């Protein structure tokens, strides 16, 4: 009986210490996320940094070669639930605007074979860039998380950014694309 009481007390102490630790980590995360958002994320009216990335098809994509076209960059990963949930919206919009807007899904830090399998399983057809070391996301298009979507107008200027996913993303991204198209 005594050993059961000791086990219960130790279990309660463990749970309490884990909760205290979680609160501490969450406070640090909120502080860190706020700093990134305020100081480092790109904003509307910033010029989009140029980059070249290998596409899943083996071709390359260089942003500056697409001046004159609205470009939507969507940073994502297969392990990211909100990213995966948002991808059908990106697919639908890429089909809807196929003749006027270029969509590039920018996979962040994953093995190309895993990405290829994932894309084929789900039937996505828009171009997929392979930011294998997360360099483009970390240094040129930093955000505190993914999914992260950047709308770039035909002049190469960022007109909007979206962090996260959700049911309202289709309408928000569509409105931002319409604004970028002028």
Q: Is 80 a catalytic residue?
A: yes
CA 136 to centroid of chain Cα atoms: 12
- 162 phi and psi, to 5 degrees? -135, 130
Q: Is 31 a catalytic residue?
A: no
> Which among 21, 18, 19, 37 has a CA at the least distance from the CA of 163?
37
Strand (E) or helix (H) holding 160: strand 158-163
Q: Which of 36, 41, 55, 80 is catalytic?
A: 80
Q: How far apart are CA 153 and CA 156, in angstroms?
A: 5
Q: How far apart are CA 152 and CA 142, in angstroms?
A: 15
Q: How far apart are CA 144 and CA 28, in angstroms?
A: 13
Q: How far apart are CA 5 and CA 109, in angstroms?
A: 47
Q: Which of 42, 83, 90, 93 is catalytic?
A: 83
Active site residues: 80, 83
């Amino acid at each position: 009986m005594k050993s059961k009481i000791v086990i219960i007390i130790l279990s309660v102490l463990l749970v309490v210490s884990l909760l205290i630790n979680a609160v501490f980590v969450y406070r640090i995360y909120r502080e860190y996320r706020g700093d990134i958002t305020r100081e480092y994320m790109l904003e509307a009216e910033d010029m989009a940094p140029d980059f070249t990335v290998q596409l899943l098809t083996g071709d390359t994509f260089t942003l500056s070669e697409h001046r004159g076209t609205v470009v939507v960059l969507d940073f994502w990963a297969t392990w990211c639930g909100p990213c995966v949930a948002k991808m059908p919206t990106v697919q639908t919009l890429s089909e809807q605007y196929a003749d006027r807007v270029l969509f590039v899904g920018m996979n962040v830090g994953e093995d190309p074979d895993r990405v290829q399998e994932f894309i084929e399983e789900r039937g996505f057809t828009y171009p997929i860039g392979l930011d294998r070391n997360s360099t483009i996301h970390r240094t040129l298009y930093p955000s505190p998380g993914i999914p992260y979507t950047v709308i770039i107008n035909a002049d190469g200027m960022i007109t909007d950014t979206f962090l996260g996913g959700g049911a309202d993303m289709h309408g928000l991204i569509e409105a931002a694309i319409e604004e970028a198209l002028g």
